[in-house]
Amino acid sequence: MGFGLLSALPFVVLPQATAETIQIAQIQPQTKKRIAVLDFEFASTGLTGLGLYGEVGPAKGVSDLLTNRLAQTGRFTLVERSRINQILAEQNLGASGRIDPSTAAQIGRLLGADAVIIGSITQFNLERSGSDVNVGFFGISVDNRRQKANVQLTARIVNTTTGEILAATEGRGSAEKKTGGASVLGTGASSFGEAADPLLSAAAEQAVNELVEGIVRLEPTLAALAPVLPNVVAVVADVSAGRVILNKGSRDGLRPGMFFSIERVLKEIKDPTTGRTLRLDTQPIGRIQITEVDDVSAVGRVLSGQGLKVGDRAKPVSN
């Protein structure tokens, strides 16, 4: 009986527009927030371990480690560090070595990031205690000392839309080791110097793990942020069968579900003295929604407009 009732129902054909609407609804916008971690800076005090690493090494090392640990949580999308360095170089941002929240927000918008993490290394110490003990006429020296590494980090999370500091969190780490060795008349083996780098690395890793825990606890705050439109203009690289391919991808902040306005360049205005392009007069001719992305390109479904062609420009717009 059930089959008879079912066969009696009229066969319904969805109009083309309705079918397209259903397909568009199936595109799931990316819900993970996109985060960029900038190089940490050094505070002015408590940095007695700098001679072992140099000022640049620990700053970049901490930032790289934090990026990796956050990515491993699976809760966020992290901007590649190489892409951050490229933007900094292209825009000459952060040349002074210190980046304030306003500049961090500007960098974040260029990267299409929802939030930017800036931070400080407030402690990077290696403490030494104990002494050598000399025994006997032959100058036998016994090394009985301890080393303790202390690292403290502070991270601030910046809203790239407003430049506001959303929250701050801290991480601390320490590692200790007893060193030993013996020498006769100044020759021999001692692990005192050899233990320094591993101790500082272990302490830094502990501190970074604490930072990650603090940032993960702030996930609800980050999730409430309005999606950030990437500050990028893409170019149409291909058009076929109701879809277009853009020459920008995830490394520029493009994500599935985003909407782009396709614009045709009507006039290029140049400086008469230098020949440099001052601005482009454009006209909107269509609209697409991004369906998939890779690092360097994106595929978009055409929602409206006709006659789209290679070379047209694409600008991100709100839904």
Tens-place pLDDT, residues 216-256: 999 999 998 887 888 889 999 999 989 999 999 988 888 89
Flag the least confident range among 4-18, 119-133, 300-314.
4-18
The whole-angstrom separation of Cα 103 and Cα 121 is: 19
Tens-place pLDDT, residues 105-144: 999 988 989 999 999 999 888 887 765 554 444 444 445 6
DSSP β-bridge partners for residue 57: none
DSSP β-bridge partners for residue 155: 119, 169
Domains of the chain: which residue ranges?
33-223, 234-317
Question: Is CATH 3.40.50.2300 what the domain over 33-223 is classified as, yes or no?
Answer: no
Whether 234-317 and 33-223 are alike in CATH topology: the answer is: no
What pLDDT sits at residue 96?
A: 57
Question: Is CATH 2.40.10.410 what the domain over 234-317 is classified as, yes or no?
Answer: yes
User: In angstroms, how far apart are the furthest CA atoms of the chain?
Assistant: 111
What pLDDT sits at residue 92?
A: 78
If we measure between CA atoms, which residue out of 159, 155, 81 comes closest to residue 113?
159
Question: What are the percentages of helix, strand and coil residues in the chain, rounded to 5?
Answer: 30, 40, 30
Which residue would you say has higher pLDDT here, 312 or 181? 312
